[in-house]
Structure 1
Amino acid sequence: PKLGNVLSLFFYLKDYPCFDLTPHEQEVVKEYHAFIRKRLRNKEALYRRDVVTGLMQGFFFELCTVFANHAPANAATIKNKSRKEYIFERFYESLVESYQSERSVKYYADQLCLTPKHLSGVVKEVSGKTVGEWIDELVVLEAKALLNSSSMNIQEIADRLNFANQSFFGKYFKHYTGMSPKEYRKSR
């Protein structure tokens, strides 16, 4: 879905984080979960990563449909976006495009013509997380995904995520996960 639609759902879910799934929706979630786990466990599959990526995309669309079904029909227009929500949306769009290569708050603030302090305050207020936490979360998730489902070695992953060297990547990864990339890969 378009990022704007997803962010509208994000803001709705931020205010209303819990809702009951219908029996059909529960079944859909369980089916996707079971099938994705099964595909992930098939280590010999030639296109495992591509298959799982496609399944995750499908699952994401299904979840967006579920969320949209539970949100009021006009959830996106219930309230006009505040300036802070608008800034957060622009920040998130920029983050999704650049997190693999850019990890400084200043970079994202510059993209939005804001000071790092102002951007940090707005993002924290709107999302409950700091800019740095958002950046680190995306980088660590990407690193985990690459360690789990790619044949790239650790140096290649460090290069892809724009770390100066494998050692720095290893320290960064261990700081956020409690284990080295090699240990993480073995544990999967």
Structure 2
Amino acid sequence: MKKIQELNIQTWPQKERRNASYFKEDFAIFEVSKASISNYPIKSKIYGFCLCLKGKSYGTIDLIPYELSKGKVSVNVPGQLITSDSVSEDFMGICILMSSRFVEGLGLPYDFGLYDAVKESPIISLSDKESEALHTYCKMVKELLEKQRLFQAETLKHLTCAHFYGLRAYLYQMPANKALSNNELLVKRFMNEVRKHYSKERKVSFYAEKLCVSSGYLSTVITNATGKNASEWIENFVILEAKTLLKSTNLTIQQVCDSLHFPSQSFFGKYFKRITGKSPKEYREDKG
């Protein structure tokens, strides 16, 4: 069976990066608009930043709704499932993609903490000065990649390090998160476990056992806190992954079924259609 394909810089939707400037296979920067944004879900194995300059974009990151508008930046880390559900006609932004290899090569401290911080808060609201500083960084990087050849790698590395430190300093300045109640902590732990195991485990009882609570109690807490029961959250992760594989890879439907550990293609097809109203084949062929 083929390994699940996750999107990197080379496999990122071509229409989104038509005007991109590159550094080897590890870094890309490009402008985006409504016309260039893909409308199907993606799973990324790279780091990404998108600074909104104008308009609004709505979607989900790991099924949590987001709004990206002027003065906000989305920060994405490897493994996240991302959808873009609605984009205003006047939307304009600048996106940067970085491979894990590039980020690891920056030499950031092991306890830098950016990964965990942005997993919790992937959309960051910037002040006018902070937004302008990030925009300036983007313009400097684009000019560097298009015009400067001498010491290009070193300059890009140090500019990006400065950007990361500035971003981390901003996150440190944000108001400290309030102490979570026991139920809020349980919801957070449940979501983390689902992210880790949804491709193999779809029973609420599995997660209840991991969290040392009963299935009924877990479902009640999740429903009261989120408006969706535990089974719905698990299904949503599974279906989003299936949609991503069907739209952004060349895996056969049987291979998608195997990747998500369904017992048969028939079972997978019924499961997918029950939730989406379409068969996997119909969804893959749908151009909407």
TM-score range, shorter chain: 0.5 to 0.7
Query: Is residue 82 of structure 1 aligned with residue 96 of structure 2?
Result: no
Structure 1 pair 37–131 and aligned structure 2 pair: CA distance change class (3 A): same
Aligned residues: 146
After superposition, the C-alpha distances for 1:28-69 in whole angstroms (9 at most, x for unaligned) are xx936544429x8xxxxxxxx8xx836884344179464454
The answer to whether the aligner puts 1:58 opposite 2:159 as a matched pair is no
RMSD: 3.0
SS at match of 2:179: coil
Structure 1 residue ranges without an equivalent (≥5) = 1-29, 41-48
In the other structure, the counterpart of 1:31 is 32
- Could you tell me which residue of structure 2 aligns to residue 112 of structure 1? 211
Name 1:11's counterpart in structure 2: none
Matched residue, 2:174:
73
Q: Secondary structure at the match of 2:75?
A: helix
Q: Which residue identity lines up with residue 73 of structure 1 in the other structure?
A: M
Q: Tell which structure's C-alpha radius of gyration is larger.
A: 2
The share of aligned pairs that are identical, in percent, is 37
- Which structure shows the bigger proportion of residues in strand conformation? 2
| 1:165 counterpart letter in structure 2 | S
Instruction: Normalising by structure 1, report the TM-score.
Output: 0.67
Once the two structures are overlaid, the 10-residue window that deviates more, 59-68 or 175-184, is 59-68
Q: Measured at CA, do residues 143 and 57 of structure 1 come closer, stay the same or move farther in structure 2, by a change above 3 Å? A: farther
Given that 1:36 and 1:56 are in contact with CA atoms closer than 8 Å, whether structure 2 keeps it comes out as no
Q: Deviations over 1:83-102 (max 9, x none)?
A: 00100111111000000000
Q: Per the alignment, do residues 68 and 81 of structure 1 end up closer, same or farther by CA in structure 2, a change over 3 Å counting? A: farther
Give deviations 1:145-165, integer Å, cap 9, x for gaps. Answer: 000011000001011111000
Q: Aligned partners of 1:113 and 1:33: how far apart in 2?
A: 45
* Structure 1 residue aligned with 2:231: 132
Where has structure 1 moved over 6 Å in runs of 4 or more? Answer: none
CA, structure 1 residues 178+126, in 2 after alignment: closer, same or farther (shift >3 Å)? same
- The amino acid across from 1:149 in the alignment is S
Q: TM-score, normalised by structure 2?
A: 0.45
Deviation at 1:127, TM superposition (A): 1.4
Q: Report the structure, 1 or 2, having the larger helix content.
A: 1
Alpha-carbon deviation of 1:129? 1.1
Give the SS at the match of 1:120.
Answer: helix
1:150 to 245, 249, 252: 249
